[in-house]
Amino acid sequence: MRKKIIAGNWKMNMTFDEGQKLTSEIVNMFKDENIQDVHIVLNPPFPHLFPVKKLIGDTPGVYLGAQNCSDKESGAFTGEVSAKILASFGAQYVIIGHSERREYFKENNELLSVKVKQALEHGLTPIFCCGESLEIREAGTHEPNVKFQLTDSLFDLSADEIKKVVIAYEPIWAIGTGKTATSDQAQEMHFALRRHLGSKYGKDVAAEISILYGGSMNAGNAADLLSKPDVDGGLIGGASLKSRDFIEIVKSY
């Protein structure tokens, strides 16, 4: 059975005190409101990893993630953080290939393939992001474009490895713009991606892979998006910075 996952991507936000307050509120609400059958993943900036992990403690259903990892194991790479280091701090998930990394830092499919392998090697669950720009969406080539991102970065993994990967579909035109793909548009793409995974690994394997929606999900639209059969959760940006909003999304299941 696929995991239901709501992952909060803090991006480059939150001072130390703000991060501590946000984490404490989320963890306490999660416990107090007896939320079950949903995994939440907090993905703060690197300096927050250890203090956030301490606040999470052994809370069932709450996990620590990072926003990126290096493609290198270790060495003289100033400013980089390896999957091995992340794992040693208690991280369990890592976001790989977010559209902002692709656009601003020119990360390509080949590099992301190596990062996914590094994450898996060190026991981290990659949240692999894929998606299309407004230009590609309007040209009607979004489906083959996004499928190619999966093929080029993930299809050299074994069936056992791909089952350990979480996919996050993020229509780039709906990130931070206030626009959101309709629930039908999200379902259409999630179904297409699952079918594409099935073409390589078989339907049974594809049925085990969680596919999250990552385009401006919020407390107002979450229930509609999460009601779709192939939408297994969300990768949440802005709404993850407000504890009540984030928990309301989690409760939308």
Residues contributing to the annotated binding site for substrate? 9-11, 176, 216, 237-238
117 within 8 A of 164, measured Cβ to Cβ: no
Dihedral over alpha carbons 42, 46, 47, 50 (to 10 degrees)? 50
Distance CA(220)–CA(142), nearest Å, equals 26
Q: Is 196 a known active-site residue?
A: no
Q: Is 98 a known active-site residue?
A: yes
For residue 5, which of 181, 153, 186, 167 has the smallest C-alpha distance? 167
Task: Enumerate the β-bridge partners of residue 62.
Answer: 40
Residue with tokens 């229509």, as numbered in its chain: 171
Residue positions counted in the chain: 253
For residue 140, which of 106, 189, 101 has the smallest C-alpha distance? 189
Q: Which is catalytic among the residues 100, 107, 132, 170?
A: 170
Q: Which is catalytic among the residues 98, 122, 142, 190?
A: 98
For residue 119, which of 95, 136, 99 has the smallest C-alpha distance? 95
- Binding site listing: 9-11, 176, 216, 237-238
User: Can you state the angle between helices 49-56 and 16-32, rounded to 10 degrees?
Assistant: 20
* Beta carbons within 8 Å of 171's beta carbon, 6+ residues apart: 131, 132, 137, 142, 181, 185, 189, 215
Active site residues: 98, 170
